A and B are shown apart, each in its own frame.
Chain A
């Protein structure tokens, strides 16, 4: 009859991890995965930063638009919107910002 200690030794031998040299291929795979993970984290950080900047810029443009619009006299009902009024400056700013934000180089940053 085996003692508890002997039994534990049998189980330890049976379940012990294999004895071998480090697997350099696996180590290299992990290294590549670490580099990819770091690149992904940096891209994510940059994307969030850009998103934040764009949200602030959008807020600023909308605010400018509202302030410009507030200064403009109210148009009579049915009157044509004049081309040269403060609100149009707001639209122009918005369009310029949109063009800059959507240019291909900006998308790739």
Chain B
């Protein structure tokens, strides 16, 4: 799968829009789910579209270090932070409420559980939990995506894990 991604990414870097469209088709589900859960569903699809346009613009910058999915997630995370800062400036407030309308999988009970559990996390804990537990990235990969030192990421994941478990036990 990552070999195919690498091949498509190389073609996209050469300006092949069809190859990039194939990459969008392969990754949109994960990028949208990640952003949807980070934002609580508000404007997540617009942000995801922006992420892919940015990835297309930067296609030539991908050097094949790490997975293409990880590179996309990094763009998604930085785009989320920029959008969040812009919203905070516009609304004149520092914290945005997590509305819990994210696209989540499984039964209605699981959806409610996930929404409630995620609502108790701050955005870094939410992103770290989604990357490490939901997406299956290693701590090292998640640290690269979130541009954090490994130790910091590990402590964020541990805190997120504890909060999620506590929310699920309630």
The residues of A with any CB-CB pair to B shorter than 8 Å are 7-8, 10-20, 22-24, 26-27, 29-31, 33-34, 37, 41
Contact = CB atoms under 8 A, between A and B. Distances in A.
Give chain B's interface secondary structure class: helix
Interface string B12-30: 0000010011001110111
Interface stretch (B76-84, B86-94, B129-137): B129-137
B53 A18 contact: no
Contact of B29 (A20, A34, A41): A20
A15 to B, nearest CB: 3
B33 interface: yes
A18 B105 contact: yes
B17 A31 contact: yes
B25 A22 contact: yes
From A12, A17, A37, A41, residue with most partner B Cβ within 10 Å: A17
A15 B24 contact: no
A14 B56 contact: no
B117 A14 contact: yes
A37 B56 CA distance: 10
A33 B21 CA distance: 12
A15 B57 contact: no
